[in-house]
Amino acid sequence: MVKDGMIWDLSQLVENTDSNIVQKQLDRMCSEAGTIRDKYYGKISNLDAKGLLELFRTKDTYYLKCEGLQLYCELMYNANSTDKIAKQLNDASRMASVKVGQSLAFIDIELGNLLAKNPSLISNPTLAEYRHYLEKLLRRAPHLLSEAEERLIIAKDKNGIGAWELLQSEWLSTRMFEVEIEGKKKTLPFGEIRGLYESPNRELRRQVDQVLFENLGKDEIIWASAIRAICEDHKQMCKQRKYPTAMTQSLIANDVDQETIDSLMNTIRKNVGLYQRYLRLKAKLMGLDKLASYDVTAPLPNASVEYNWSEARKEIEEAYKGFDPEVGGWIAEMYDKRHIDGKVRKGKTAGAFCASWQNGKSAYILQSFNNRMGDVYTQAHELGHAIHAYLGARAQRPSNFGTGSCMAETGSIFGELLLTDRLLSKAKTKEEKRAILARVLDKFGIAAFKVSARVFFEQSMYDAIEKGKYLDGETVAKLWAASRSEIYGDAVEWLEVTKYEWTGTPHYYFANYRFYNYPYVYAQLFVFALYQLYKEQGQSFIPKLKKLLATRGSKSPRELAAELGFNTAEEAFWQEGMKQAEELVDMLEETLKE
Ligand SMILES: [Zn+2]
């Protein structure tokens, strides 16, 4: 077998890689879920604390036993989707997990009912380890309808909002856009044309912006029908499920509270000037009077620095080692044990991800490494997720391992900042320094500020529906443009057609997934605030961060912040994150004097 350091070794995940044996183990996984069902179905309401503890332990042990097997099938397929065996195993594994899901779905429902009747179980010392897990179940319980109603909703959603979601995604992915690149006409799908916003050629970027949204705007009837149906359906369901506001469902799903999100969004509103200051500075560095919509995430001129695989490893490993030797050791292990697949090849899944492997107390990472600075950042980001998994798998059982979206990016964004500090300290030219800073600030600006415009926009649609307004394409476009200008003011010149930006953002159309946006804002500012704390407290901060990461989902994000001495419901906390961003903007401004 070829041992290429850039290709991962998945054999560690299973006892035997023979596909017949893997298939047999998948079958056994299903029958074991059936055994658990036979033992507990209809009986959970009679369990006492000790009985519940036994149920949780059984569930957690079962998860760890199946995890490697399922990961193996899934990752094999991600690494090579054209391989026949990988395809078969992935299909078999997905089918098995649907079966397991159906067999075990009763557990959470019966638990919810039991807790609603007997909420004191939550504080029972026998169940101390599962306290927050139970709290989350209880918070959901009052909004569940009867089993018959829930089943009817699932059945109706498939051809209701589910069909609108599907229409948006299929329509979008089958649109083709014509652009001229270096004198040659090219016809590209949505996924590819968007990549051209990264081009150093400004005229090409302008063309992309114009062509993309002019064409999407032509189908405004489709997009508006979809977004309207999905929002109105949500409004109706909020009434049925007794959610006081359109955002409540998402607050429960993300394990956060309204107070916290209000203070987060207020902080954003108060700091739009900081973002606009950065955008004006970026315009100056690009030799422009003002940025246009197609310049916001464009690279700075003369910004390209290349890294090969081992150079990237060195920078990332040193960045993490400088933070903490134990963490640095785990980073080295990820490379040494070949848990990272960076090799570019056909049939490999696009993008990047980190999959936790709790049973192996480790993780696996996939990306396509092209030697660019962005690839080094992506690797550092995914390795931050891996560290979150290393720490979590050593401290938590599976029931407590899952983190809500607000906390899931804590290790990864922190890791990017560690890398930033290291690269800045080594940068030889001011152009290199600017490229690093602009990269971090571009990402920060989008995640914290542009995504906030999406929060305002989503809210404004529900407000409009409440007032009895009809959401046609033009109305939706106006709402989007208004929300966007709350953030950007006059710092950016938007092409007229970009009022249709909402047409191509799939998240607005995901069925049963409203207000997906503020967790990105939360994560970004939360980690920037943590980094500020790290700089203030130095060495003494390190064990605190490690503890926070190790806690995973066993405590709420608000409790986790409180353990660091912060109240997320107060704007002062979020302002710490802004302070960190401001320092980076200051540094960028300083380079003008060099
Ligand atoms: Zn991430």
Tell me the per-residue pLDDT of 434-468, one tens digit each, with 9 for 90 and over: 999 999 999 999 999 999 999 999 999 999 999 99
CA distances to 2, 147, 280, 314, 322 from 311, in Å: 22, 56, 33, 5, 16
Give tens-digit pLDDT for 202-223: 999 999 999 999 999 999 999 9
What's the confidence (pLDDT) of residue 308?
Answer: 95
| Least confident range of 52-56, 100-104, 206-210, 542-546 | 100-104
What separation in angstroms does the CA of 453 have from each of 91, 199, 229, 520, 590?
Answer: 39, 25, 21, 12, 29
| DSSP-based three-state secondary structure for 407 | helix
How far is it, in rounded angstroms, from Cα 585 to Cα 591?
A: 10
Q: How far is the CA of 488 from the centre of ligand 1 (A)?
A: 25
pLDDT, position 3 = 64
Provide the 3-class DSSP secondary structure of residue 502.
helix
CA of 516 to the centre of ligand 1 (A): 15
Query: pLDDT-based confidence at 135, cuts 50/70/90?
Result: very high
Q: What is the rounded distance in angstroms from the CA atom of residue 328 to the CA atom of residue 332?
A: 6
Separation of 316 CA from ligand 1 center, angstroms? 16
Q: Give the span between the Cα atoms of 9 and 17, in whole angstroms.
A: 11
Q: What is the pLDDT of residues 327-344, one digit of tens each?
A: 999 999 999 999 999 998
Provide the CA 124 distance to its chain's centre, in angstroms.
Answer: 34
**Portion of the chain with pLDDT greater than 70, in percent:** 99
- Cβ distance 10 to 75 under 8 Å? yes
At 488-520, the pLDDT tens digits run: 999 999 999 999 999 998 889 988 889 989 999
Q: Is the pLDDT of residue 1 over 50?
A: no
Distance from residue 287's CA to the centre of ligand 1 (Å): 32
Q: Which of the four pLDDT bands, split at 50, 70 and 90, describes residue 169?
A: confident
Tokens 């909703």 -> residue: 153
Question: What's the chain's average pLDDT?
Answer: 94
Q: Is the pLDDT of residue 52 over 70?
A: yes
Neighbours of ion ligand 1 (CB under 5 A): 412
- CA of 353 from ligand 1 middle (Å) equals 7
Q: pLDDT tens for residues 520-557?
A: 999 999 999 999 999 999 999 999 999 999 999 999 99
- Is residue 393 very low, low, confident or very high in pLDDT (cuts 50, 70, 90)? very high
Alpha helices in 445-570 (DSSP H): 451-466, 473-488, 518-537, 542-551, 557-563
Size (the chain), residues: 594
At 296, is the secondary structure helix, strand, or coil? coil
